[in-house]
Amino acid sequence: QQSQSDIQLNDRVVYGAFGSYAEYTAVPIDKLVPIPDDLDTPTAVACMTQGLTAHYLASSVGAGISKPGNWLLIYGVGSGTAQWTAQMAKLRGYRVIGTTSRCKADLIDSASTGGDVATALGCDKLIVLENVPGKSYADYNSVDIAAEVMKITDGSGCSLVIDGVGKSTYEISLKCVSKRGLFVSFGNASGAVPAFPVLKLLEKSAYVTRPKLNDYVVTREELLERANEVFSWVKEGELKIRVDKVFSLEDAKLGHEYLEDGKGRGKILFKTSQC
| DSSP assignment of 50-86 | IIHHHHHHHHTTTTTT--TTSEEEES-TTSHHHHHHH
| DSSP assignment of 224-243 | HHHHHHHHHHHHTTSS---E
* Predicted local confidence at residue 267, as pLDDT: 85
* Predicted local confidence at residue 263, as pLDDT: 77
Model pTM?
0.91
Q: How far apart are CA 260 and CA 123, in angstroms?
A: 25
Q: How far apart are CA 263 and CA 201, in angstroms?
A: 34
Say if residues 217 and 228 touch (Cβ distance below 8 Å). Answer: no
* Predicted local confidence at residue 1, as pLDDT: 45
Residues in the chain: 275
Query: For each successive 10 residues of the chain (275 residues), what is the average pLDDT?
Result: 68 86 88 94 92 97 95 93 95 97 80 73 96 88 98 98 97 98 96 96 97 96 97 95 89 90 81 77
Q: Max CA-CA distance within the chain?
A: 57
* Predicted local confidence at residue 275, as pLDDT: 62
Q: Residue 179's CB: how many other CB atoms inside 10 A?
A: 11
